[in-house]
Amino acid sequence: MRDTVDKRKTFVIFGMKEKKNPNKFTREREEKELAKTVIK
């Protein structure tokens, strides 16, 4: 079962490849940095 996520704080970026980093904390940090870059 997937982790429960607050849907109000999520968004999807189409056309970008998802990284398959098995380390959850590293993956989340990288995704957060990528999101900041896209928003700018």
Separation between Cα atoms, residue 22 and residue 24, nearest integer Å: 6
Please give the model's pTM, rounded to 2 decimal places: 0.54
Separation between Cα atoms, residue 27 and residue 22, nearest integer Å: 7
Per-residue model confidence (pLDDT) at position 6: 66
Helix (H) or strand (E) holding 15: none
Is the distance from CB of 15 to CB of 7 less than 8 angstroms?
no
**pLDDT 10s digits, 1-40:** 455 666 677 777 788 777 777 888 888 888 888 888 888 8
- Which alpha helices (DSSP H) does 1-40 contain, by range? 24-39
Separation between Cα atoms, residue 2 and residue 34, nearest integer Å: 22
Per-residue model confidence (pLDDT) at position 1: 44
Q: Is 21 helix (H, G, I), strand (E, B) or coil?
A: coil
